[in-house]
Amino acid sequence: MTQRADGRTPDQLRPVTIERGWSSQAEGSALISFGGTKVLCTASFTNGVPRWLTGKGKGWVTAEYAMLPRATNERNQRESVKGKIGGRTHEISRLIGRALRAVVDTKALGENTIVIDCDVLQADGGTRTAAITGAYVALADAIEWGRAKKFIGQKSQVLLDSVSAISVGIVDGVPLLDLPYVEDSRAETDMNIVVTGRGLFVEVQGTAEGAPFDKRELDQLLELGLAGTAELRRHQLAALGQAE
């Protein structure tokens, strides 16, 4: 069996920590780490919705992803200094938002807005998947905050399910779970999957970085990913103090 550089087996996650309530300012927050990747997720709850949604009896959940300039091994110029947001940032922000909305009943949320900010403080591969996984915890707390403040009905079932995400990839022909930067940069195929607590897919994004892949490889990656997200779900439940 392949020995990975950090000693993990191919189907093993890096150590996961979720520091719930890290921020004393936000209505929900979590500092999540997948090994060396650390993402601060905050959820901002506002009563009311953007103008285009007013009067429809539905809420809105959106997300913004960003990376501190020295989260990575070499410093990147700030997007605020460049004056524009890069394609990768946009793409990941949109992905996180879609992932969260997939488990939210916006009618039950009522005319409230929740903005999730995922700021990568340190990056070592898998930042978007850590962001989604931590964002769910922040979101859950923000919803409870809204309920406590009576912006959300006491019995409204806003969350339909939980959601988490993980990266999988093929390196030297071997399917691996949760790739750190050193593996990710060498992967022939790279895939991010977003899965609900019930094990249904929300997003499957596979890209051939090196060689195109076939159906059998795709199936192996999906299987690895489903196992990984099931384990992440247990971390989320533990952080939220919920029973399985």
Owner of token pair 């993990």: 8
Across the strands, what pairs with 167? 192
Asked if 43 and 138 count as a contact pair (C-beta separation under 8 A), the reply is yes
Q: Which is nearer to its own copies, 218 or 240 (CB)?
A: 218
- Token output for 87: 């394609």
What the block records as the tokens of 209 is 């970085």
* Shortest distance in whole angstroms from residue 154 CB to its own copies: 26
Q: Is 243 in the site for its own copies (CB under 8 A)?
A: no
Told to check if 5 binds its own copies by CB under 8 A, we report no
- Residue 208 interacts with its own copies (CB under 8 A): yes or no: yes
- C-alpha angle 89/94/96, rounded to 5°? 95
196 binds its own copies (CB under 8 A): yes
The structure tokens listed for 180 are 């750190």
Q: Which of 222, 25, 4, 31 is closest to 130 using CA atoms?
A: 31
Q: Which amino acid is at 10?
A: P
Please report, for residues 28, 202, 237, the alpha-carbon distance to residue 234 in angstroms, rounded to integers and kept in the order given. Answer: 19, 18, 5
Q: Is 234 in the site for its own copies (CB under 8 A)?
A: no
| Phi and psi, residue 66, nearest 5° | -155, 165
- 242 binds its own copies per the rule CB under 8 A: no
User: Is residue 21 within the footprint of its own copies (CB under 8 A)?
Assistant: no
198 binds its own copies (CB under 8 A): yes
Which residue in the set 204, 227, 237, 240 belongs to the binding site for its own copies (CB under 8 A)? 204
Query: Measured from the CB of residue 80, what is the shortest distance to its own copies in angstroms?
Result: 4
Instruction: State how far the alpha carbon of 116 is from the alpha carbons of 77, 143, 217, 222, in Å.
Output: 23, 12, 34, 27
Binding-site member from 52, 81, 155, 173 for its own copies (CB under 8 A): 81
Positions in 95-134 near its own copies (CB under 8 A): 98, 102, 115, 117, 119, 121-123
Contacts (Cβ under 8 Å, ≥6 apart) of 209 = 187, 188, 189, 190
Nearest distance from C-beta of residue 71 to its own copies, angstroms = 7
Among 12, 47, 94, 111, binds its own copies (CB under 8 A): 94
The verdict on 83 binding its own copies (CB under 8 A) reads yes
Q: Quick one: which segment of 69-77, 147-155, 166-174, 227-235 binds its own copies (CB under 8 A)? A: 69-77
> Rounded to the nearest 10 degrees, what angle do helices 215-240 and 127-148 cross at?
40
- Collapsing DSSP to helix, strand or coil, 112 comes out as strand
Q: Give binding residues as ranges.
A: 88, 126-128
Q: Give binding residues for phosphate as ranges.
A: 88, 126-128
Q: Which residues bind its own copies (CB under 8 A)?
A: 23-26, 29, 36, 40, 42, 44, 46, 64, 66, 68-75, 78-91, 93-94, 98, 102, 115, 117, 119, 121-123, 161, 191, 196, 198-208, 211-215, 218, 222
